[in-house]
Amino acid sequence: MSKEPKKVAWMEDYDGGKYPACPSCGEPAYYPDQCCFCGQPFEQDDELLKEFNHSVQIERDGYTVVQASNNHVHIYASDGTLLSHATCIKRMTEKDLERYLENHRRLMKELFKEV
């Protein structure tokens, strides 16, 4: 028995942004065609496709920070080494990526400080 496609729900996050969510189970929509949690297929939605086909990238102090179209955030060292990987619900701005990098650097400094 296959489910009929439904229009994606747009939910508001904690700081007034919006993100796509499954209309059946309410979980974030990590893919533009169906929910990875309950399998609910989504109707084609130009706004949703635009959201998924957008990536943001910054370069700061020898690091490259990228939020890919699937909302995965990667931090790369200048030699291309992947230093961090995370999945976020919402799309990030360049300012958000700068804060993410700063928090990562602060955490690494704390974790690896001399005892």
Residues 104 and 59 in one domain: yes
Asked if residue 38 and residue 9 are part of one domain, the reply reads: yes
One domain for residues 49 and 59: no
Do 29 and 72 reside in the same domain of the chain?
no
User: Residue 85 phi/psi, 5° resolution?
Assistant: -140, 135
Query: What would you report as the CA-atom Rg of the chain, rounded to the nearest whole angstrom?
Result: 17
Contact 63, 28 (CB under 8 A): no
Instruction: Looking at the structure, tell me whether residues 49 and 66 fall in a common domain.
Output: no
Query: d(Cα 98, Cα 93) in Å, to the nearest integer?
Result: 9
Specify whether 11 is located in the same domain as 41.
Answer: yes
pLDDT in 10s for each residue of the chain, 115 residues: 468 999 988 888 766 667 788 999 999 887 778 898 999 999 987 776 776 667 788 999 899 998 876 678 889 988 888 888 887 777 788 898 999 999 999 998 888 886 5
Strand pairing partners for 15?
Answer: none
Q: CA angle, 65 as apex, 63 and 102 as ends, to 5°?
A: 70
The region, left, alpha or beta by phi > 0 then psi within -120 to 50, assigned to residue 14 is alpha
Domains identified in the chain, total number: 2
- Contact at 8 Å (CB) between 66 and 101? no
Same-domain status, 47 and 24: yes
The string of pLDDT tens digits covering residues 58-89 is 999 899 998 876 678 889 988 888 888 887 77
The range of the structural domain enclosing residue 78 comes to: 55-111
